[in-house]
Amino acid sequence: MSLWLAERSRQNAKTNLGQPFADVVVVGAGITGLTTAVLLARAGKDVLVLEARSPGAVTTGNTTGKISLLQGTVLSKIVSHHGADVARDYVQGNREGQDWLLHYCEANGVAVQREDAYTYAQSAGEVEAARAELAACRLAGLDAEWDDDAEVPFPYHGGVRLANQAQFDPMPLLDSLIDELTTRGGRLVEGVRVQGLSHRKGRVRLTARTGDAKVDVDAAQCVLATGMPILDRGGYFARLKPNRSYCLAFEVPGAITRPMFISAGAPTRSVRYAPAGDGERLIVAGASHVVGRKSPTAELEELSSWAREHYPGATQTHQWSAQDYTPVDHLPYVGSILPGDEKVFIATGFNKWGLAAGVAAALVLSGRILGGRMDWSKAFAAWSPHEIAGVTSAVRANLEVALHMAKGWVVPATRLGREASTDGGVVKGLPWHMEAQCTIDGVAHRVSPVCPHLGGIVNWNDADKSWECPLHGSRFAPDGTLLEGPATRGLTASS
């Protein structure tokens, strides 16, 4: 469990749906969904937020908590594929998202630490990439500078520094947003998983489940703020690559680095400090991988060793992971789920930088619903001429998906004699009778390995103790319970 989720007391969850209709239904209670809901409630809209699990349980509560306009090497990729004008729009959107977020935190007593942010070269081979990011920052209007010596305990060959960025624990922000939403007459209901949507007489009808009960919810408009959109229309599952990254928190006897750092190359090394109840923690992040295509045990051990080497005496206290979606054209998708559809909106593809960008998306979506516009929003458009730049990446990504689809149906036949470990999982069997088997804490689970989204065969992630689909990133608990989509149902019990 993340440092943010472990060290907080939950608000009382509301699970009673009440009136099954609203002006706007927002699906997903992370930072994007709740900010959108608050902005709409301020304008007098009747807003209902539906959350399948609990607020922040998926991505927002498992981030590194960095609120930065310097985002690794994102800007150099945008400049390379789309040019300086689009990069400036992207930065302006993130700047407005960051400003709104920081002003909200200040007004509502949410603690924020203002620190410099670095994209740095951890070896001589990464200097070129870091220098390219500096050039992109300046083209995009960021007042960044080069720093030859940041006085850090880990390998450093120079880096880009952007002053006065921010970091925080995101969960108090969500609590404050929920308080404002409910004060303004909005509703948040947990434990409601939306599984489908249809258009009816100028409105939208969402089909959902709460426990064992099926419910229908009507709305004039709907916002899907679910990471990967839960509806296949628009083909976003084919335009995004799901990646999972890991965070480790440590108690450190000595000084902890104050600025925020992220490396310009692989393996990723992301560093920040975090206030904790009894002092501070060092947070290091990395070990990123495409969901379902490997189990990052070795990479996590390497990440932990790196932290202990450079911060002597460090003792690990927490481990967690988050899932993010990399768009094929390096820009988020925010807007109508399909061109011309002003009833259903989506927000996805924040590429691991969804705090400032997620709030920017909320500004775009609320403005769109209320009849406003942001000039910079074209850099966030769900449907844009810019997408042509991502065609090659999209083709390559979907060829990889096809390969893993075929591999998933063939390889389990080679494991017929293999048993699950005492604390792990395996998929085995012939194509017409495959089974996913795992044993966790002495409890055995047997489920179908077929992902209900598009029929991929799941693999076991030993670090997260979960089943993961290598096609589009759906994740399931050991017993098959759905953790995150695009699937909208869990794995079925093994027959």
**Could you tell me the pLDDT band of residue 494, with boundaries at 50, 70 and 90?**
confident
Cα 310 vs. chain centroid, distance in angstroms? Answer: 28
* Amino acid occupying residue 261: F
Is a pLDDT exceeding 60 seen at residue 197? Answer: yes
The proportion of the chain whose per-residue pLDDT surpasses 90, expressed as a percent, equals 67
**CB neighbourhood size of 442 (10 A):** 7
Q: Which residues face 241 on adjacent strands?
A: 326
Contact 59, 342 (CB under 8 A): no
Report CA-CA distances (Å) from 179 to 9, 11, 59, 365: 15, 10, 20, 21
Distance CA 158, CA 384 (A): 36
Q: What angle do CA 52, 489, 485 make, to 5 degrees?
A: 65
Whether the bond between 452 and the residue before it is cis, its omega within 30 degrees of 0, is: no
Distance CA 50, CA 192 (A): 6
* Amino acid occupying residue 245: S
Secondary structure (DSSP) of 310-361: HSTT-EEEEEEEEEEEEETTSS-EEEESSTT--SEEEEE--TT-TTHHHHHH
The single-letter DSSP state of residue 150 is -
Q: State how beta strands 279-290 and 315-327 pair.
A: unpaired
Cα 195 vs. chain centroid, distance in angstroms? Answer: 20
- The least confident of 347-361, 364-378, 414-428 is 414-428
**Residue 432: φ, ψ to 5°:** -85, 0
Overall residue count recorded for the chain in this entry: 495
Q: Is 480 left (phi over 0), alpha (psi -120 to 50) or beta?
A: left
- What pLDDT score was predicted for residue 277? 81
Q: Could you report the per-residue pLDDT of 304-322, keeping only the tens digit for each?
A: 999 999 999 999 999 999 9
Is a pLDDT exceeding 70 seen at residue 199? Answer: yes
Contact 216, 205 (CB under 8 A): yes
Distance CA 28, CA 227 (A): 8
- What pLDDT score was predicted for residue 278? 80
Q: Could you report the per-residue pLDDT of 279-305, keeping only the tens digit for each?
A: 999 999 999 998 888 888 899 999 999
**Closest Cα partner for 199 from 338, 376, 292?**
338
- What pLDDT score was predicted for residue 398? 56
Give 128-134's long-range contacts (Cβ < 8 A, gap of 24+). Answer: 129/73, 129/76, 129/264, 129/265, 130/73, 130/158, 130/159, 130/160, 130/264, 132/73, 132/76, 133/70, 133/72, 133/73, 133/75, 133/76, 133/160, 133/264, 134/160
Distance CA 183, CA 185 (A): 5
End-to-end CA distance of the chain: 32
- What pLDDT score was predicted for residue 407? 58
Q: Is 133 helix (H, G, I), strand (E, B) or coil?
A: helix
Distance CA 55, CA 307 (A): 30
**Residue 308: φ, ψ to 5°:** -70, -30
**Residue 405: φ, ψ to 5°:** -60, -50
- What pLDDT score was predicted for residue 403? 62
**Could you tell me the pLDDT band of residue 412, with boundaries at 50, 70 and 90?**
low
The single-letter DSSP state of residue 153 is S
Q: Could you report the per-residue pLDDT of 131-163, keeping only the tens digit for each?
A: 999 999 999 999 999 999 999 999 999 999 999
Give the residue-averaged pLDDT of 256-272: 96
**Closest Cα partner for 272 from 166, 123, 147?**
166
Residue matched to tokens 């489908």: 196
Give the residue-averaged pLDDT of 1-10: 81
**Closest Cα partner for 43 from 183, 178, 184?**
184
